[in-house]
Amino acid sequence: MKRRFFLGAGIAGISTSVLASCTVSSNPNEEKGNTMKSGNIIHQVYFWLKEGITAEEEKDFLEFFKILKTVPGIQSFTTGKPAGTNPRSVVDNSFSYSITVVFEELADINVYETHPIHTEAAAKYSKYWTKVQVRDTEVLDI
């Protein structure tokens, strides 16, 4: 009987702790963990690497992203590879790597595009890719 009481008290304590840690936000973007706001610029770049590059060359290519992260004005910088999602006609997983860079406003991406760190790194590492596609998006408040 004492054991049953102990387990019940433990479960009640856990439930209380879990409920106490839950908060409700009045901002729908906060609820989803979205920290972007209207006017932010999302800069997505897709890279197709040359066929037959070595593992060492690919490792060197990834240094490119580390350098790009140092350009002033970047709010966030994420590097990725194609996800193993189900094949569909609207999905293009043919790229090798992608980056997603978020800027506070249009002026910041304008600095990024012409900044010497960016242009010099692109010139140095372009030997590794055959194709690059850029998609820039301005976040809307809908």
Shared domain check, 62 and 27? no
Res 21 pLDDT > 50 = no
Q: Output the domain CATH number for residue 106.
A: 3.30.70.100
What value does the mean pLDDT of the chain take? 85
> Domain residues for 17?
2-31
Sign of CA dihedral 6, 11, 14, 16: negative
Could you tell me if 10 and 70 lie in one domain?
no
Do both 47 and 76 map to the same domain?
A: yes
Residue 36 lies inside a defined structural domain of this protein:
no
- pLDDT digits over 63-93, tens only? 999 999 999 999 999 999 999 999 999 999 9
69 & 17 share domain = no
> CB–CB of 89/77 below 8 Å?
no
Question: Which neighbouring-strand residues pair with 99?
Answer: 45, 79
**Residue 13, in any domain of the structure:** yes
Residue with the larger pLDDT of the pair 21 and 120: 120
pTM comes to 0.76
In the chain, the number of structural domains is: 2
Residues 105 and 47 in one domain: yes
